[in-house]
Structures are given as structure tokens and as C-alpha cells.
């Protein structure tokens, strides 16, 4: 199981981490922004974390005689997710250090513009300013930023893919291994 978790976790992490680093020049050039960048980011996460499905299937078909329990599949998926998530967070730290130091300020301004466009009151905007100011202070702490990147951004995506994969692959008849004649 260790080899499967490492292999598929590293593949997923390489995909999502590389994409983060490859798209950073697009962010800096203004091609990607807060709106379309989220689509690119989360699509990349889903593609990268599809390795969870393939990892669980590999374990089931090649190492466990075509059977895997829901619990074991979840364990494999969570471990693959953690490896990929750490690699993603490391790539974000590299990217974040290369961005202009005003990323959080730009993100804050973007959120305020969204709130204004949606008719937020002045009181709601003031409350949001206070909340974002607190967030900006917390986000300056590297360990907190690293953990937030893992557990707020990518880990939930991996958890959903893990649960779906475990539910499907616990059934022997779902995409059974083909036997060579």
C-alpha cells in the first residue's frame, strides 16, 4: 500500500504543483485573475487528484484480489490527498514568494468589488474590511498560510474524490480488473 500511496500521491502532487508554477507567469501577466484563476486551479486539482481513483483501483485489482473495503479505500485516498496537498502548498509558497507582496490586498479589493456589485451595504463592507484585515495578518504567518492552503483549498477536493472513489471501487463489479488469457 505504501508504494501505491507514494506513487499516486507524488504523481498528483507533481501535476498540481507544476501547474501552479506554470500558471504563475500568466497570473503576473494578467491573463489569469481571481475569477478565471479559480477555474484553472480547481480543474487542475480535480485532474491531479483523479490519481486517488487510480491508486485505489490499483490497490484493489493488483494487491488485494479485486476487493477493497470502503475504509481501506478512504485511507488510501486520504494519504494520496495529503501527499499531493503538501506538494501543492509547497508550490504555492514558492509562487507566493515570487508574487508582488500585495496579493492579499488585491484579493481583498476584488472581494469588495464583488460585494459592491451584489449590493452590499456600507455596514457589510465595513465588517468585511475588518475581517479581511484580520485575515491578512494571519496569512502573513507561513505555517498558518501553509496549513490553510492545504486544508481550505485542496484537501476538501481530495476528500470528495476519495469518498466517491471509495464508494464506487468497494464494489467488485465496478470496473473489474481484466485478466490476461
| DSSP states of 94-155 | HHHHHS-TTHHHHHHHHHHHHHHHTT--HHHHHHHHHHHHHHHHHHTSHHHHHHHIIIIIIH
| pLDDT for the residue 180 | 47
Name which of 92, 88, 80 is nearest 15 in CA terms.
88
Mind listing the pLDDT tens digit for each residue in 130-148?
Answer: 998 999 999 999 999 999 9
Nearest to 162 by CA among 87, 85, 61: 85
Residue with the bigger pLDDT between 71 and 33: it is 71
What are the structural domain ranges in the chain? 2-169
Encode pLDDT of 41-93 as tens digits: 999 999 999 999 999 999 999 999 899 999 999 999 999 999 999 999 999 99
pLDDT of residue 105: 83
pTM over 0.75: yes
Amino acid at each position: 500500500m505504501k508504494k501505491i500511496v507514494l506513487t499516486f500521491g507524488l504523481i498528483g502532487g507533481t501535476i498540481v504543483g507544476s501547474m501552479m508554477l506554470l500558471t504563475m507567469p500568466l497570473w503576473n501577466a494578467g491573463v489569469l485573475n481571481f475569477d478565471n484563476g479559480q477555474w484553472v486551479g480547481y480543474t487542475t486539482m480535480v485532474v491531479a487528484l483523479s490519481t486517488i481513483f487510480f491508486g485505489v483501483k490499483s490497490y484493489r485489482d493488483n494487491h488485494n484480489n479485486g476487493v477493497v473495503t470502503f475504509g481501506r479505500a478512504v485511507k488510501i485516498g486520504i494519504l494520496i490527498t495529503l501527499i499531493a496537498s503538501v506538494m501543492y502548498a509547497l508550490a504555492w509558497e514558492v509562487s507566493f514568494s515570487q508574487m508582488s507582496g500585495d496579493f492579499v490586498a488585491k484579493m481583498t479589493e476584488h472581494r469588495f468589488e464583488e460585494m459592491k456589485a451584489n449590493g452590499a451595504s456600507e455596514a457589510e463592507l465595513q465588517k468585511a474590511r475588518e475581517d479581511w484585515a484580520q485575515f491578512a495578518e494571519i496569512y502573513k504567518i507561513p505555517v498558518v498560510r501553509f496549513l490553510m492552503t492545504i486544508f481550505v483549498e485542496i484537501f476538501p477536493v481530495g476528500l470528495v474524490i476519495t469518498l466517491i472513489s471509495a464508494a464506487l471501487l468497494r464494489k467488485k463489479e465496478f470496473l473489474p480488473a481484466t485478466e490476461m488469457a
